[in-house]
Chain A
Amino acid sequence: MILNHRDYRADSHFDAEVVVVGTGAGGAAIGAMLAELGVDVLFVEEGGHHPTSSFNPYLAESMPRLWRDAGTSVILGRSTFLYAEGRCVGGSTVINGAMTYRAPEEVLQSWHAQVRDDSLGPAAMESWFERAEQDISAKLHRDIAVGGDNRIMALGAERAGWHHEKNRRNHIDCVGSNNCILGCVTGAKQSTLVSYMPRALGAGARCLTEVRARRLLIERGRCVGVEGRVVDPRTLKPTGRIRVRAQAVVLACGAVQTPHLLLQHRVARRSGQLGRNFVTHPNVKVLAIYPHEIGGWRGLSQWGQVRQFHEEGIILAENMGPSGAVAAALPFHGRAIWQRMKHYNNMVLSGVLVEDSNTGRIYRGPFDTAVPVYSITQADLRQFLRATRLLCGMHFDMGAERVILPFTRLHELTSADQIALIDESRIKISDLELFTPHLMGSVRLGGDERDSVVNPDHEVWDLPGCYVSDASVFPTAIGVNPQVTIMAMALRAGERLAARVLARRRAA
């Protein structure tokens, strides 16, 4: 059962065994696991329920429906930049690129050593990854889904002698309609909207949509529920109040909103780590214009990744988007923007992802706003410059006429001979045009209350009954797309939580 603003009274009360706040990768996976094990689950989702039938390729109307803040959420720092987060049933899985990379083995080993919990090691996590991948149908693609920009990257990498790894993505018969960021129009992408959520609802879970969780209900030091506000869809102002009482509250609102909600309750006082260790896996876009048609908007959003430099913390990949998104990312306007955009059919939008070497922090701002603060380091800047040079070289080698750069001081190169300008232009951190869809950390999981916020069961150390199931619990950055790791950890946490809830029910 899915409810929305029309179904609520001014003051509505609900009861459940477990209330899950958020329906993205972490929330839907743990909620489905719990519901299928017989637990009474109720989801609270801030966004609306937009079924596959409602998706379309129009950016300016889809972003307000599916994206938090219509895509205008920013991270403050030495280079202020945008981040992407879903706000709808399915969360960010509805608008992501569907990559299903696992956290690398060395990352899991470091978590194992750091947390001192055997169930987080590579061997123990293997079965959870397999289960998540099976649940969302993670696999490679058929050739019919591959477009011109995908091929350019694969061929360019091959000519450069780089290792190019094909992405496994969560899909059933993807045919490359390339509307991933505005909702999959064919229903092929197995976002939680069409995978975990139907399973949870089928097992009896309920979902309250268009409700923003405002605070936790705490009685005698234990979390016993959550209070939210119904948002009037016309004024976008809070109206009615919703209270949900439950044995356990699972926060799965992402690495910005989860700490924001917890910060008002002064938890994790022993470690002081709440909101800290925020990592973003930042990226920049490099756009190449070819003298012939590529049709990058036809075909997969991303077929593979150049993994040649992954051990150094660099991933290169293509990621073509709708014309509105591409134009907004270019450093031009007026006649100059048309001179480039008229070649939209000849464009390849590629990007550089750099693994974090720094951490940021989430603050609670005025007016119930979360304020993420994060800056890249000089070492990161050098990585971005190097990776941009590599991408430029590859595109010119593949025949590109010009390459548009992600720097406010140096916009464009028209030949391989000009690549040296990237070093000569003295690009600073504040000159980088960054972006990120991968937000992690900020509610770190750990084995010791003195250096973490949640314990290995994902329960907040000093707030029994309150659990966290999203990328905010990652002890460190993972350097790859986080979706499957979030799901695998959510399933692991869900099994443990279900055992507790069902034991309590039996005892009662």
Chain B
Amino acid sequence: MGASDDANVAEVALLDRFPDDGWVRARRWSPSQGMVNAIYGLIGAICPGRSDGAPADKSVYDAVFVQMVQTFPYMSRLARMGLPWIIRVLDWSPIWRFEGVVRLQSLPPEQGSAVLDRVASSRFALLRTFVTAARAAVLTAYFDLPVVHDALGYDPVGFMRERIALRRRLEAGKVSEQTDLLQPSPQTLLAAAVDKS
């Protein structure tokens, strides 16, 4: 970053991944091999499987893992202390739930997912919170991947480039046009509403 005389260096975003604004990223968390296996077990159980067009190959799971260990050092101290513990508790959940003698990491993803479903509906709020935390850690990373964006039909970068260009036009004194309006229109939305008549 270095010394700068101006807080507003540029008007618009370049939309680059890992932008070079001089900010130094923290070293990734380096979990033990046992913890790595447990994390991959959770990723498999929490991410969607291959069904229905969901991206689910090894490179996707590796990318989720990398995002998780990159984010970990920035988490609150409570989260940094708690997350490894939560991962272990959930990894051992098939055993302490007396559902089998193998850990989550050894189960096929569908079975692991089903075990987590049951933990998530536990009568103990703490256990439900564990699943919520694990889901948030994994799904934030999974649904942030460009390959998943593509599968969802979600193109934030393309849309933002279009909007940045529109704002530049407005700043240059041009007026907006009908085509700049976002769809669907109110008429379309009302047509789909429940007919009260």
Contacts and interface: CB of A to CB of B under 8 A. Distances in A.
A65 interface: yes
Contact of B76 (A74, A293, A341): A74
Contacts of A74: 76, 78-79
Interface string B6-17: 111111111111
B118 interface: no
Contact of A337 (B3, B139, B141, B182): B139
Interface in A211-228: none
B50 to A, nearest CB: 10
A327 B139 CA distance: 6
B149 interface: yes
A337 to B, nearest CB: 6
A171 to B, nearest CB: 10
A49 B1 contact: yes
Interface residues of A, number: 104
A146 B182 contact: yes
B52 to A, nearest CB: 6
B79 to A, nearest CB: 4
A328 B137 CA distance: 8
Contacts of B52: 335, 338-339, 342
A186 B12 contact: yes
Interface stretch (A162-170, A229-237, A378-386): A229-237
A325 interface: yes
A171 B8 CA distance: 15
A177 interface: yes
B15 to A, nearest CB: 5
A324 B182 contact: no
Nearest to A74: B78
Interface residues of B, number: 97
Interface in B143-190: 143-144, 148-149, 151-154, 156-157, 159-160, 163-164, 166-167, 170-171, 176, 180-186, 188-190
A291 B192 contact: yes
Given A143-B181, A236-B74, A53 B13 contact: yes
A333 B13 contact: no
B152 A334 contact: no
Interface in B63-114: 67, 70-71, 73-79, 109-110, 113-114
A64 B8 contact: no
Interface string B38-77: 0000000111110111100000000000010011011111
Contact of A175 (B9, B27, B167): B167
Contacts of B159: 177, 297-298
Given A328-B140, A342-B52, 4 more contacts: A3-B3, A52-B12, A326-B143, A339-B52
